[in-house]
Amino acid sequence: MSSSVEAITVLSSDGDEFKITVSAAKLSKPLNWMLEDVCFSDDCDEVPTIEVNSKTLVKVIEYCEKHAPRANSGASDSDAEELKKWDIEFMKMDVKDILFHILMAANYLHMEGLYDLACQTAADLMKGMTVSQIRKIFHIKNDFSSEEQEQLRRQHPGCSFD
Amino acid sequence: MVTARKTEAAVMNGEDMTDGGEGNTATDKVKGITMPKDVVYEIFTWLPAKSILKFKSCSKFIYEFTQEKYFLVKHSQNVTLQGDSSFFIIQRVHITPGDYEEKNIISLPGNKASSLGIPKNFLGLLSQRPIRILSSNHGLLLCEVLQKGEFYYPQKPKGELIICNPTAQSFSSIGLPHSFEENYRKTYVTLAFGSVHDDEVYQLLVFEYHQERESEYIVCKAYKPKEGVWKEREKGLLMGYRWALLCSYSSRGRCQNMLLYNFESGEMRRLLLPKEATTTRWFDPKKLHYHSVRLFKRDKAVGTSSDDICLVIWDKDDLVFTFWVLTDYESSLLVKVFDGEYGRNGIAE
C-alpha cells in the first residue's frame, strides 16, 4: 500500500465517482483489501467499482467518515455516546426507502457496525407490521398448506396468516 | 458477524420478485429489493419475541429458522443491547395454598410502554404454572418451581428451576446442586442469572454465603447449560458484570444483609441499606401483608460503563414501589430515586 495516498476513488454501480479517505475505507474489509492491492498505487489509473448504487454509497461513505476516527484510535465514553446519538440521527433520515440497500451494502462490504445498526433499525420498523406487510417487504409467499395453517393455529392460538 | 454473500444472493422467492401492488402504505417504500436469506435472518434476531412469534406464520423458511438454536442464542445476545428498564412484578391473587400468581410487567415512568418483548399469551402460560419468576435476563426467564406449603408460606420452592424462553415458548428444567438444596431458602443462598458467555446460552450461578466466627466466605457454583451439570466456579469470570448481589434473610423474613460480591477480586462489601428496607418484612403473618424487597441488577443502560444496581421495595397491598439506585460502589450508598404507585397505567410518581 502506498502511504502517500490519503483518499481513494471508487465508482458506484451507477458509474459515479466517489472519494473515500483511506482511514474510512479501513472500516470495510473488502475495501481494505483493495487498498493493499496494486489498484491504488500511484501508477494505476484503473478505478475500482463497488457494487453499490450512488444513493446508498453516499450514506455508507458518510457513516465511514464519521466512524473512522474512533475505529482507528479508540475513543472515550463521551465520544461513544456522541457517536451513538449520531447513529440514531443517521438512521432517522429518510432511510426507509434505502435502508434495505444500506443493509445489503453493509453486508457486502463487511461493515459490522453499520450492518448491526441497519438490522436493528429495520427490526424496529418491522415490529408493528402485520404478517402480510412483512411478506410484502421481503417478497415472501405464504407457502403453508391449509392443513399446516390449521396445525399452526392450534399450536399458537392467535397466530395470524394475514 | 457479517457474512457477505454477494455471489449467492439467495433470492427469497424467485417468482415473486416483481414489485406487485402499488399501494400507498409506508412499507411500500421499502420494496424493490430482494434480501438474501441471511440478512432476513439477521434482522429477525433484532426483533422482540412478540414480533417473532407473530411473523412465524409468514412462511416456512421463517418458521423454521426462528426455531433454530443458533438463532435463539443470537436473539438473546441482541436483546440485551437494547436498553429496557421494565421489570416483572408478581402478584398473588389470593393468599390460599395452591393459588398461582399473576405475572405482570411494569414499565418505569418515562420508559415508553414496553413489555420486555414478552408476548402476552406467554405471560398467561406462565400464570398457569406453579412457578415464580426469579429473574429475567436477555429475554430468558429464570423461574423456580413451587409446591404446596403450610399456611404462612403457601407455596414453597421445590428445589427445581426452570428456564423459560418466550421466543421459543420453551421450558427447560434444571435440578439444583445437592448442597444448595439443603440450604435453599434458609438464609444464605442466592442465585444469579447472567448473560450470554462464551458459547453458552446463559449463565446461572449459585452462591452460598457462609459466616464463621471471624470469616465470611462464599461458595459459588456455576451451571453449565451444555453439559447440564453444576461445577465449582473460580473467581474471575464476569457474566458481563463485575458485581453480584447477595441477599440473606432471617427466618422471620426480614432482610438481614445485602452484599455486593466482586467477581474479579472475590471482595465482599456490605450494602448500606435504607431503613425502610431493613425494617420491612417479606411477609408479616399477623397482618397478612405482603412486602417485597428485591435487589436487582438492571441491564447496563446504553452508554453507561458501570452496572446499575437497584433496590425495590414493593408494598403489595397498597401497590406502592420505592426505588433506590446504588450510586457509589466505594461507599456502597443507595440513593432513593422515587416512590411510585402502581395503577392500571403503570407506575405513577
Whether B59 has a pLDDT exceeding 70, the answer reads yes
CB B290 within 8 A of CB B317: yes
Residue of A nearest to B18 (CA): A139
DSSP A39: G
Q: Would you tell me the crossing angle of helices A112-126 and B37-44 to the nearest 10 degrees?
A: 70
Neighbour count for residue B177 (Cβ, 10 Å): 18
The residues in B 203-232 lying below 8 A from A, measured between CB atoms, are none
* CA distance linking residue A31 with residue A24, whole number of Å: 9
Cα atoms in the Cβ-side hemisphere of radius 13 Å centred on B188: 13
Whether B100 has a pLDDT exceeding 50, the answer reads no
Which residues of chain B lie closer than 8 angstroms to A56, CB-CB?
Answer: none
Q: In one letter, which amino acid is B29?
A: K
* CA distance linking residue B103 with residue B138, whole number of Å: 18
* CA distance linking residue B172 with residue B140, whole number of Å: 11
CA dihedral (A98, A103, A106, A107) positive or negative:
negative
Judge: B121–A77 Cβ closer than 8 Å, yes or no. no
A139 touches chain B (CB under 8 A): yes
Which residues of chain B lie closer than 8 angstroms to A30, CB-CB?
Answer: 4
Q: What is the mean pLDDT of residues B317-334?
A: 63
Q: Which long-range contacts (C-beta less than 8 Å, at least 24 apart) are formed by A62-66?
A: A62/A90, A63/A90, A63/A111, A63/A114, A64/A20, A64/A24, A64/A25, A64/A27, A64/A28, A64/A111, A65/A20, A65/A21, A65/A24, A66/A90
The residues in A 77-116 lying below 8 A from B, measured between CB atoms, are 77, 80-81, 84, 96-97, 99-101, 103-104, 106-112, 115
Residue A61 pLDDT = 92
Residue B252 to chain A, least CA–CA distance (Å) = 44
CB B295 within 8 A of CB B258: yes
> Across the interface, which of A107, A111, A141 has its CB nearest the CB of B16?
A141
* CA distance linking residue B161 with residue B157, whole number of Å: 9
Which residues of chain B lie closer than 8 angstroms to A84, CB-CB?
Answer: 302-303
Instruction: Find, among A86, A162, A95, A101, the residue nearest to A124 by Cα.
Output: A95
Q: What is the mean pLDDT of residues B130-156?
A: 65
Residue B291 pLDDT = 40
Cα atoms in the Cβ-side hemisphere of radius 13 Å centred on A121: 24
Q: What is the mean pLDDT of residues B55-84?
A: 77
Which residues of chain B lie closer than 8 angstroms to A107, CB-CB?
Answer: 2-5, 36, 38-39
**How would you list the strands of the sheet with B268-270, edge to edge?**
B243-249, B255-262, B268-270
* Domain A7-128, CATH number (from 3.40.50.1110, 3.30.390.50, 3.40.109.10, 3.30.710.10): 3.30.710.10
The distance from CA B281 to its chain's CA centroid, rounded to whole angstroms, is 24
Query: What tens digit of pLDDT does each residue of B12-26 get?
Result: 333 333 333 333 333
Judge: B57–A123 Cβ closer than 8 Å, yes or no. no
What is the pLDDT confidence band of residue B310, given thresholds at 50, 70 and 90?
low
Query: What tens digit of pLDDT does each residue of B182-207 get?
Result: 554 443 455 566 555 555 666 677 76
What is the pLDDT confidence band of residue B145, given thresholds at 50, 70 and 90?
confident
Instruction: Spell out the SS3 assignment of chain B.
Output: CCCCCCCCCCCCCHHHHCCCCCCCCHHHHHCCCCCCHHHHHHHHCCCCHHHHHHHCCCCHHHHHHCCCHHHHHHHHHHHHCCCCCCEEEEEECCCCCCCCEEEEEECCCCCCCCCCCCCHHHHHHHHCCCEEEEEEECCEEEEEEEEECCCCCCEEEEEEEEEEECCCCEEEEEECCHHHHHHCCCCCEEEEEECCECCECCEEEEEEEEEECCEEEEEEEEEECCCCEEEECCCCCCCCCCEEEEEEECCCCEEEEEEEEECCCCCEEECCCCHHHHHCECEECCCCEEEEEEEEEECCCCCCCCCEEEEEEEECCCCEEEEEEEEECCCCEEEEEEEEEEECCEEEC
The residues in B 305-344 lying below 8 A from A, measured between CB atoms, are 305
Residue B105 pLDDT = 47
Judge: A136–B31 Cβ closer than 8 Å, yes or no. yes
Percent of chain B with pLDDT over 70: 26
Look at residue A6 and give its three-state secondary structure. coil
Neighbour count for residue B66 (Cβ, 10 Å): 22
Q: Where are the domains of chain A?
A: 7-128
Which residues of chain B lie closer than 8 angstroms to A110, CB-CB?
Answer: 2, 4
φ, ψ of residue B2 to 5 degrees: the values are: -105, 125
Residue A6 pLDDT = 76
Residue B90 pLDDT = 40
Give the range with max mean pLDDT: A137-151, B256-270, B326-340.
A137-151
Rg of chain A (C-alpha set): 20
CB B56 within 8 A of CB B66: yes
Judge: B43–A101 Cβ closer than 8 Å, yes or no. no
ipTM: 0.86
Cα atoms in the Cβ-side hemisphere of radius 13 Å centred on B24: 0
What angle is formed at CA B218 by the lines to CA B215 and CA B220, rounded to 5 degrees?
A: 165
The residues in B 11-50 lying below 8 A from A, measured between CB atoms, are 12-13, 16-17, 20-21, 25-31, 33-36, 38-40, 42-48
* CA distance linking residue B71 with residue B142, whole number of Å: 20
> Across the interface, which of B43, B53, B302 has its CB nearest the CB of A119?
B43
Cell of B90: 408478581
> Across the interface, which of A104, A124, A134 has its CB nearest the CB of B39?
A104
* CA distance linking residue A143 with residue A148, whole number of Å: 9
> Across the interface, which of B30, B36, B63 has its CB nearest the CB of A99?
B30
Residue B106 pLDDT = 43
Instruction: Find, among B312, B250, B316, B319, the residue nearest to B289 by Cα.
Output: B316
CA dihedral (B60, B63, B69, B72) positive or negative:
positive
Residue A92 pLDDT = 77
Average pLDDT score, chain B: 59
Judge: A115–B82 Cβ closer than 8 Å, yes or no. no
Which residues of chain B lie closer than 8 angstroms to A131, CB-CB?
Answer: 54-55, 57-58
Which residues of chain A lie closer than 8 angstroms to B44, CB-CB?
Answer: 123
* CA distance linking residue A139 with residue B18, whole number of Å: 9
CB A20 within 8 A of CB A10: yes
Instruction: Point out the least confidently predicted range of A130-134, B104-108, B235-239, B301-305.
Output: B301-305
Q: What is the mean pLDDT of each run of 10 residues along chain A (162 residues)?
A: 66 88 85 68 66 89 87 68 85 71 89 90 86 86 88 75 73
Judge: B57–A139 Cβ closer than 8 Å, yes or no. no
Cell of A162: 394475514
φ, ψ of residue B12 to 5 degrees: the values are: -60, -45
Per the DSSP assignment, residues forming a β-bridge with B270 are B259
Residue B274 to chain A, least CA–CA distance (Å) = 31
